[in-house]
């Protein structure tokens, strides 16, 4: 989901991944075909509005 979100950003020119297995690499590459629906995107935006700069 995180990669699908990053891939949906219009300003994105590249996405750095750190796969440690072939299965993870396949999943990361497959994220380019995943589109998050409006409900999920709205939920992510609500979290960002509530916590724009989360502390560690």
Tens digits of per-residue pLDDT, 2-44?
Answer: 999 999 999 999 988 989 999 999 999 999 999 999 999 999 9
SS3 39: helix
Q: Is residue 56 part of a domain?
A: no
Q: Is residue 7 part of a domain?
A: yes
SS3 3: helix
CA–CA–CA angle 48, 50, 52 (5° rounding): 50
The whole-angstrom separation of Cα 48 and Cα 15 is 20
Query: Residue 56 — very low, low, confident or very high, per pLDDT cuts 50/70/90?
Result: confident
Q: Is residue 17 part of a domain?
A: yes
Q: Is residue 29 part of a domain?
A: yes
Q: Is residue 11 part of a domain?
A: yes
The whole-angstrom separation of Cα 17 and Cα 30 is 12
Q: Domain range for residue 41? A: 2-50
Number of structural domains in the chain: 1
Radius of gyration of the chain (CA): 13
């Amino acid at each position: 989901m995180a990669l699908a979100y990053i891939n949906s950003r219009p300003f994105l020119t590249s996405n750095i991944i750190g796969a440690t297995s072939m299965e993870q690499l396949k999943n990361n590459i497959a994220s380019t075909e995943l589109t998050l629906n409006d409900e999920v995107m709205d939920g992510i935006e609500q979290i960002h509005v509530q916590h724009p700069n989360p502390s560690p």
